[in-house]
């Protein structure tokens, strides 16, 4: 029993040290760019849009804040599939806008993951994301990520990988 208590205490201590070092390294990465202020940032609510695909005519990296359906439709198509959650996420461009990232075509199952979306002191939005490298595939894809936000956050967006 005593060994179990010591083990659990050690695991908790190690876990708390790791989370503090992770927070410190995130803050250090922000401090490397003096134009971004960490202390006064505010988290922005968002949802991740599902069942869309990036069109094949896209070249290079695309990082955009999209405010109209026409802009969105020039980059994305609907990918409806069977089942309850098979419909694309509805986006109402009268009330919402989109933050989109599209990576160049690859034959790896790469996936983009949102980390945070914050409003900075200067009014800009800072979107931090991560690219998970995947296994090789026999076909190509454009890894993409679509965040839906309230249109009231109509600001410039800084993208941080």
- Residue 65, domain extent: 42-160
Same domain assignment for residues 108 and 150: yes
For the cut 70, the answer to whether the pLDDT of residue 39 exceeds it is no
> How many separate domains does the chain show?
2
Rounded CA gap, 124 and 157, in Å?
A: 6
Residue 117 belongs to some domain of the structure: yes
The whole-number pLDDT of residue 63 equals 97
pLDDT tens column, 50-84: 999 999 999 999 999 999 999 999 999 999 989 88
Q: What is the structure's pLDDT at 42?
A: 86
pLDDT in tens, 102-159: 999 999 999 999 999 999 999 999 999 999 999 999 999 999 999 999 999 999 999 9
The answer to whether residue 74 is domain-embedded is yes
Long-range contacts at 132-137 (CB < 8 A, ≥ 24 apart) = 133/108, 134/108, 134/109, 134/110, 135/108, 135/109, 136/107, 136/108, 136/109, 137/107, 137/108, 137/109
Q: Is the pTM above the cut of 0.75?
A: no
Q: What is the pLDDT of residue 83?
A: 84
Of residues 131 and 41, more confidence is placed in 131
Same domain, yes or no: 67 and 7:
no
Q: Is residue 37 part of a domain?
A: no
Cα angle 133, 137, 142 (rounded to 5 degrees) comes to: 60
- Residue 123's pLDDT is what? 93
């Amino acid at each position: 029993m005593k060994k179990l208590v010591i083990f659990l205490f050690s695991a908790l201590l190690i876990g708390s040290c790791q989370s503090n070092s992770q927070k410190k390294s995130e803050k250090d990465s922000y401090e490397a760019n003096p134009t971004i202020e960490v202390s006064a940032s505010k988290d922005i609510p968002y949802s991740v849009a599902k069942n869309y695909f990036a069109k094949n005519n896209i070249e290079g990296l695309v990082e955009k804040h999209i405010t109209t359906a026409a802009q969105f439709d020039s980059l994305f198509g609907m990918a409806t599939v069977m089942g309850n959650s098979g419909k694309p996420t509805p986006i109402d461009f009268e009330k919402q806008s989109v933050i989109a990232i599209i990576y160049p075509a690859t034959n790896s199952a790469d996936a983009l993951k949102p980390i945070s979306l914050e409003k900075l002191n200067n009014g800009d939005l800072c979107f931090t994301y991560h690219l998970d490298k995947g296994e090789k595939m026999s076909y190509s894809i454009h890894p993409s990520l679509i965040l839906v936000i309230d249109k009231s956050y109509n600001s410039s967006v800084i993208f941080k990988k």
